[in-house]
Amino acid sequence: MQIDQISRVRNFGRSVAVEVGALEESFLNRGRPLGAARVLNAIGLGYQNVSDLRALLKLDTGQLSRLLRSLEAEGLIETTPNEDDRRSRQTRLTKAGEEEFTIYEKLSNERAAAILERHKNAERLLDAMDIVTIALSRENIVFEEVDYASEIATKCLTAFAAELSARLGVEFDLKKSGDPELSQMKHPNGTFVVARLGDMPIGCVGVKGRGDTLAEIKRMWIAPAARGLGLAHRLMTTAEEAARALGIETLRLDTNSTLVEAVGLYRKMGWSRIERFNDDPYPDLFFEKCLRSDAEDFARGE
Amino acid sequence: MQIDQISRVRNFGRSVAVEVGALEESFLNRGRPLGAARVLNAIGLGYQNVSDLRALLKLDTGQLSRLLRSLEAEGLIETTPNEDDRRSRQTRLTKAGEEEFTIYEKLSNERAAAILERHKNAERLLDAMDIVTIALSRENIVFEEVDYASEIATKCLTAFAAELSARLGVEFDLKKSGDPELSQMKHPNGTFVVARLGDMPIGCVGVKGRGDTLAEIKRMWIAPAARGLGLAHRLMTTAEEAARALGIETLRLDTNSTLVEAVGLYRKMGWSRIERFNDDPYPDLFFEKCLRSDAEDFARGE
DNA sequence: TGCATTACCTGACTTTAGTCAGATAAATTG
DNA sequence: CAATTTATCTGACTAAAGTCAGGTAATGCA
């Protein structure tokens, strides 16, 4: 590791530490210790089980308990035993708590907006931030099946279409490119897998089936900021496993030779090139993979 | 400001806050409160005046004094009155202090290295970090005259040459391109100005003179990560002021039309295009600016 | 059913962090 | 040279953070 690279990371750390500190300071101005503010914030963000809060904020049981008591005394939260297990407890913001939470959110948003306002071409800064965000917390990326019409799926698909349009130099229309009846990417016919970091879309892939043992991989996309981390491999693996669970034995896909990263991945994961199997205008390369063979053993590598 | 952009900044903030916290936690494991560790670190980095320490760490005088006392009691630092002004005091690491400082440095470096090791193509991540670093702390960028042969100048010139080579598609040789006798970019003939963030090179520009009222601008460069922030304008302004202070009345420069950003800047800052005034192989555009005219008033805009 | 475990709470504590009003000694100013 | 300012220190605080040993009620298990 070059000394120079390390100093770049450390310079980075210093500069963001200042920002983090400034945000915390702004939180302090509401007359409440930082610990309590953090707890209130976490509850507002949906961490309502006391044990979840403890895990998230890494607090001692005694300390968290006292912070909850102080927020209760302020009338900002209410605590009730959990229905399922009456030993554990849930917290909920009161109306006053909601308001206070909103103020903290506003402070956070204002700080973020202030950073952006200082920059004419914020898009460049935001892209850089995305790269760092994803790199630093990539172990928190989750791969999961979601509804093809869900919000996160739509975000992915929109970005996918925009990028494909730019790459192919034409307006790419999801509808035109054999856009599936929604049901074909839903259980039991098929599925749709996204990778996300919190609510940030990282990538997606669809398995489009018709209820038999043959299905098609569609809409494979990784966010530009997330490339080079080997996520496409994990995404595809998730999709293949989901397909197998649906009883699918053969997967096919079409792609375009301009998507060089994708084509390279398919080959590496044990897909074999086959003859054109549709007459869509965009694709010019076609692959197949048998889920029952040992073929995917080869792909474990990456 | 789009909600989506703000949430990108906030996601970024969350992910780096985790890293910052982890680093601080690693510091805590040396059995010393974070405040004392920070002070020790700052002293090791060269902040040896008590007043500098106080300004840097934003500590109350009483608190800093106590932290210094505790480090002294540990035998890690020594404090002596300042020679010039015996009211103020200077601290210095003892041998034991040096060792302890080194351990903290090692911890910091290890954390940074750990981040990099997780990434195959770290250069992309580092570039992103640089963009963020510079954007977040751009008010700390200093513009100053340095020796043309200093370390920071050399860093800038190396990067400049590498980039020009890539842009022009040929090996760019600083020596060939009318490289000045060193004395021509030194007082009293000329000067060399760099922009830096700490020890990170951000940009440079040289004023190459021969002792009369005519001089030439050379080696104008802004680090890729620092572009789009209007720094070139400030760099050029600094250079022009330095030139004026040297008694120079007319500045000339040559450039290449592939450097579109630079050419745009010169025009905006009131430079006028003139005839070729040398036969160097690289440049194909030539500009001049009179420092005595009101021309530069125009340039205040940006 | 009784004993262990779990999830949380309380009380009693220590350690850090942070504040503020003098005190002291050196430098500056009129 | 006396008065003021400056840079730092000390003592006496308060507040916040963090630790730990019980205690209580709900749950799980033999």
Q: Is residue A86 in some structural domain?
A: yes
Secondary structure element (H or E) that encloses residue A34, with its range: helix A34-44
- Model confidence pLDDT, tens digit, residues B137-149: 999 999 999 999 8
Q: Is residue A123 in some structural domain?
A: no
A101 and A178 share one domain: no
Q: Which domain holds residue A77?
A: 3-118
The proportion of chain B whose per-residue pLDDT surpasses 90, expressed as a percent, equals: 76
Q: Are A164 and A179 in contact (CB under 8 A)?
A: no
B147 and B277 share one domain: yes
* B 167-206 residues with CB < 8 A to A: 197-200
In whole angstroms, give the CA distance from residue A269 to residue A291. 12
| Residue pointed to by tokens 């951000």 | B202
| Residue pointed to by tokens 């920059």 | A119
B101 and B150 share one domain: no
Position A299 pLDDT exceeds 80: no
Do A1 and B132 lie within an 8 Å CB cutoff? no
**Residues of chain A with C-beta less than 8 angstroms from the C-beta of B128:** 127-129, 131-132, 135
Position B177 pLDDT exceeds 60: no
**Residues of chain B with C-beta less than 8 angstroms from the C-beta of A229:** 119
Q: Is residue A55 in some structural domain?
A: yes
In whole angstroms, give the CA distance from residue A248 to residue A190. 9
Q: Is residue A251 in some structural domain?
A: yes
Average pLDDT, chain B: 90
A83: Cα within 13 Å, side-chain hemisphere: 0
Specify the amino acid at residue B243.
A
A152 and A275 share one domain: yes
- Model confidence pLDDT, tens digit, residues A118-169: 888 899 999 999 999 999 999 999 999 999 989 999 999 999 999 888 877 7
Do A8 and B133 lie within an 8 Å CB cutoff? yes
* B 76-115 residues with CB < 8 A to A: 108-109, 112-113, 115
Strands B142-145 and B191-197: antiparallel
Specify the amino acid at residue A175.
K
- Model confidence pLDDT, tens digit, residues A35-83: 999 999 999 999 999 999 999 999 999 999 999 999 999 999 999 999 9
- Please indicate whether residue A170 or residue A155 has the higher confidence score (pLDDT): A155
For residue A290, give both structure tokens. 């048998």
Average pLDDT, chain A: 90
For residue B125, give both structure tokens. 């991540």
Backbone φ, ψ for residue B219 (5° rounding): 60, 40
Q: What is the mean pLDDT of residues B46-69?
A: 96
CATH number at residue B38: 1.10.10.10
Nearest partner of B238 among B222, B254, B258, B257, judged by Cα: B222
Q: What is the mean pLDDT of residues B146-168?
A: 90
B291 and B160 share one domain: yes
In whole angstroms, give the CA distance from residue B152 to residue B108. 23
The proportion of chain B whose per-residue pLDDT surpasses 70, expressed as a percent, equals: 93
Query: CB within 8 A of A227, min separation 6: which ones?
Result: A261
Chain A residues 8 to 37 with C-beta below 7 Å from nucleic strand C: none
What CA–CA distances, in Å, run from B4 to A81, A205, B9, B11, B87?
36, 23, 9, 10, 53
In whole angstroms, give the CA distance from residue B15 to residue A299. 31
- Model confidence pLDDT, tens digit, residues A75-104: 999 999 999 999 999 999 999 999 999 999
Task: Give whichever of B3-17, B35-49, B164-178 has the largest mean pLDDT.
Answer: B35-49
pLDDT bin (cut points 50, 70, 90) of residue B260 is: confident
pLDDT bin (cut points 50, 70, 90) of residue A176 is: low
pLDDT bin (cut points 50, 70, 90) of residue A174 is: low
**Residues of chain B with C-beta less than 8 angstroms from the C-beta of A126:** 5, 8-9
Does A11 contact chain B (CB < 8 Å)?
A: yes
Position A178 pLDDT exceeds 60: no
Span of B4-18, B87-101, B158-172 with lowest mean pLDDT:
B158-172
Task: Give whichever of A61-75, A277-291, B174-188 has the largest mean pLDDT.
Answer: A61-75
CATH number at residue A237: 3.40.630.30
* A 232-251 residues with CB < 8 A to B: none
Backbone φ, ψ for residue B20 (5° rounding): -60, -45
Q: Which residues of A100-137 are buried (b: 16+ CB within 10 A; e: fewer)?
A: bbeebeebbbebbeebbeeeeebebbbebbbbbbbbbb
B220 and B291 share one domain: yes
Beta strands in B141-263 (DSSP E): 142-145, 191-197, 200-209, 214-222, 250-255
Do B128 and A125 lie within an 8 Å CB cutoff? no
Q: Is residue B22 in some structural domain?
A: yes
Position A261 pLDDT exceeds 70: yes
Tell if A65 CB is < 7 Å from nucleic strand C.
yes
For residue A270, give both structure tokens. 């044990």
- Model confidence pLDDT, tens digit, residues B78-105: 999 999 999 999 999 999 999 999 999 9
Position A300 pLDDT exceeds 50: no
Chosen from B15, B45, B110, B117 to mutate, greatest number of chain A CBs within 10 A = B15
Task: Give whichever of B1-15, B165-179, B198-212 has the largest mean pLDDT.
Answer: B198-212
Q: Rg (Cα) of chain B, in Å, rounded?
A: 24
In whole angstroms, give the CA distance from residue A161 to residue A174. 7
Q: Are A193 and A143 in contact (CB under 8 A)?
A: yes
Q: Is residue B46 in some structural domain?
A: yes
Query: CB within 8 A of B126, min separation 6: which ones?
Result: A5, A8, A9, B116
Q: Which residues of B180-207 are buried (b: 16+ CB within 10 A; e: fewer)?
A: beeebbbeebbbbbbbbbbebbbbbbbb
**What pLDDT was estimated at residue B277?**
93
**What pLDDT was estimated at residue A180?**
56
**What pLDDT was estimated at residue B295?**
46
**What pLDDT was estimated at residue A260?**
86
Chain A residues 82 to 121 with C-beta below 7 Å from nucleic strand C: 85, 87-89
B104 and B145 share one domain: no
pLDDT bin (cut points 50, 70, 90) of residue A6 is: very high
**What pLDDT was estimated at residue B174?**
66
B159 and B222 share one domain: yes
A146 and A264 share one domain: yes
Protein-proximal nucleotides of chain D (any atom < 7 Å from a CB): 6-12, 15-22, 25-28
Show which of A103, A118, A133 is a domain's final residue. Answer: A118
pLDDT bin (cut points 50, 70, 90) of residue A175 is: low
Structural domain tally of chain B?
2
Show which of A52, A84, A118 is a domain's final residue. Answer: A118
Does B19 contact chain A (CB < 8 Å)?
A: yes
3-state helix, strand, coil in chain A (%, to 5): 50, 20, 30
- Model confidence pLDDT, tens digit, residues A194-209: 999 998 999 999 999 9
A233 and A114 share one domain: no
B66 and B152 share one domain: no
Strand partners, A144: A194
pLDDT bin (cut points 50, 70, 90) of residue B296 is: very low
pLDDT bin (cut points 50, 70, 90) of residue A282 is: confident
Q: What is the mean pLDDT of residues A18-41?
A: 95
Residue A211, Ramachandran bin (φ over 0: left; ψ between -120 and 50: alpha; else beta): left
Nearest partner of A205 among A240, A170, A178, judged by Cα: A240
Protein-proximal nucleotides of chain C (any atom < 7 Å from a CB): 6-12, 15-22, 25-28
Nearest partner of A71 among A96, A108, A53, judged by Cα: A96
Q: What angle do CA A201, A252, A296 make, to 5 degrees?
A: 80
Burial (CB count <10 Å: 0-12, 13-18, 19+), residue B297: exposed
